[in-house]
Amino acid sequence: MKIALVQDWFVVNGGAEKVVREIVNLYDDIDIFSLVDFLSAENREQILKGKKSNTSFLQYFPLSEFGYRNYLPLFPTAIESLDFSGYDVIISSSYTVAKGITKTKDQLHICYCHSPVRYAWDLEEQYLAPLNFIKKFIARITLKYIRKWDLKSNKSVDVFIANSHYVAERIKRIYHRDSMVLHPPVDTSSFTPCEEKENYYFTSARMVPYKKIDLIIETFNALPNLKLVVSGDGPDLKRLQHLAKSNITFTGFLKKEELITKMQKAKAFVLAADEDFGITSLEAQSCCTPVIALKKGGYLETVVEGKTGVFFEEDSVNCLKNVILGFENINYAFSKDDFLNNVEKFSIQHFKNGLKKIVDEHIHAKSW
């Protein structure tokens, strides 16, 4: 079987890229496609084993390295322009338009869906909020077009794999399609326990609005005696730095070894986004670091309340503040065994075994 892999784009090393890395490790001869590919040499080696992806025409557009999202109206045309002729199996790792590739009836398309397009469906208002009237008007027209295309294009998918039960419900609600659930891989061999804890809370994410880092910062602004360390980079970074008081420090982007150390030594890892899954919550648990997370979405599948973390009920400063104060005052009996037993279900090998089984079963079921 000749197999191709397509992801929306390759720019940073995030959660979707961790999935791609293990698919590339599973299928050595796989060819890779994307809208654009601007990975650094280090990230390329880590994610794609040094391979370059076959990119769309957007790769050569002005300012596409940093402004590729501005070409959103062209994403459907760009993904459909990629040539998958000669491949028997196409695996898409999709959170925007990758699932909309063009294929023949003789090809098998398996989509590992991180989410239906979030900013076109569930988070439209949140993404539009910072825009002025004219940009908002244009964006609404664009998103209406994207939704229409998104519904039509999912018909090219033969098999949907959802990264969580939460996403499986959204696939059913939006696309009216069933899906299997296979949780993404967590690097439990690198993120390991550390007995030494320090007196700070930690959060790490891409600095974009839906991650709700501003909510976490505003909460710790109201808790001046508690320290918060914020890791990550992105378009929202400067705004968040101006928002923060002196008890909050920013590290910028951390290399993996530095990130692990910060995560290991934190008294708790704080997460406020409505995540489809949330790999970082499990990376923290692999370090035996308790998680304080919004009681919603993928965290309900990854955090065991009272054993590996605690939840706050709604995304408000008062609610998160009260939970953190409770965390400070309640002597939770977190145990190493509880953390490690929970994360084992999300190991890299569990993911690779599950994906290979699904792919093999559908290859055998399809008659070429």
Give pLDDT, residue 150.
Answer: 96
Give pLDDT, residue 189.
Answer: 85
CA distance 301 to 305: 10
Give pLDDT, residue 126.
Answer: 77
Structure tokens at 200: 């700070």
Got the DSSP string for 138-202? HHHHHHHHHHHHHHHHGGG-SEEEESSHHHHHHHHHHH----EE-PPPB-TTTS---S---S-EE
Give pLDDT, residue 97.
Answer: 97
CA distance 38 to 261: 28
What single DSSP character describes residue 225?
T
Residues 342 and 291 sit within 8 Å (Cβ to Cβ): no
Give pLDDT, residue 15.
Answer: 87
Measured at the CA of 56, the angle between CA 53 and CA 60, to 5 degrees, comes to: 100
Q: How many CA atoms lie within 13 Å of 307's alpha carbon, on the beta-carbon side? A: 11
CA dihedral sign of residues 251, 256, 262, 267: positive
- pLDDT tens by residue, the chain, 368 residues: 899 999 999 998 888 999 999 999 999 899 999 999 999 999 999 999 999 999 999 999 999 999 999 999 999 999 999 999 999 999 999 999 999 999 999 999 999 999 999 888 987 887 787 788 898 999 999 999 999 999 999 989 999 999 999 999 999 999 999 999 999 998 888 999 988 899 999 999 989 888 999 999 999 999 999 999 999 998 899 999 999 999 999 999 999 999 999 999 999 999 999 998 989 999 999 999 999 999 999 999 999 999 999 999 999 999 999 999 999 998 888 999 999 999 998 999 999 999 999 999 999 887 65
Give all domains of the chain, ordered by start, each with its CATH number: 3-185+347-365 (3.40.50), 201-345 (3.40.50.2000)
Q: What backbone torsions phi and psi does residue 112 show, to the nearest 5 degrees? A: -90, 105
Give pLDDT, residue 122.
Answer: 83
Residue type, 203: T
What single DSSP character describes residue 234?
S
Give pLDDT, residue 84.
Answer: 98
